[in-house]
Amino acid sequence: MQNFSVSQYLKDHIRTVPSLPAPGIQFRDITPLLQNPKVFRVLIDAFVHRYMDPSLRPDVVAGLDARGFILGSVVAYELNVGFVPIRKKGKLPFSTVEETYELEYGSATVELHTDAVKPGERVLLIDDLIATGGTMMAGKKLLEKLGAQVMEGAAIVDLPELGGSRKLREAGLALFTLVNYDGD
């Protein structure tokens, strides 16, 4: 495979659904990446190979509800570290901390178990896509409330025209994404 580009390979397998959830919106559907075992392995390996580096290796992976659970749990397994879910409000059974964030059409709240991470642990925060950055920012704040260090935010897709990745970087979060839809 001469000149193989992981980014282009993954982009070639992301489905674009026009006018979802509203007219003019191009919805980036990552489910085809998960359905094909070869593509799924390339996707997971791209994250795992990055975070095997000792300087980037996390103590734990935190995944954002819900697609971040799929990616994060597999990446954590491959790195031989723990996984913690950051869930929508009311879904976790134990005592939690919560963070509310704004959406285009209202607000949402996510929660994390109070014993999910220990102070000083290095956490990789992972989701499928960065749009406005609200969910990832809320996840970062939750982890920091418990004393963890969010070393990096990771996602398959960045939609930079929506401003989320810029806001996250301005808030001090390093980001790693595999596919960029800047103006596409």
Q: Name residue 60's amino acid.
A: V
In this predicted structure, the answer to whether residue 176 has a pLDDT above a threshold of 80 is yes
Classify residue 17 as left (phi > 0), alpha (psi -120 to 50) or beta.
beta
Q: For the chain, first and last CA: distance in Å?
A: 26
In this structure, are residues 126 and 62 in contact, taking their beta carbons and an 8 Å threshold? yes
Span 128-141, pLDDT tens digits: 999 999 999 999 99
Q: pTM of the full predicted structure? A: 0.95
Q: Enumerate long-range contacts of 99-105, CB under 8 Å, 24 or more apart.
A: 99/138, 99/139, 99/141, 99/142, 99/145, 100/138, 101/134, 101/135, 101/137, 101/138, 102/134, 103/132, 103/134, 104/132
**pLDDT at site 88:** 96
Span 87-120, pLDDT tens digits: 999 999 999 999 999 877 789 999 999 999 999 9
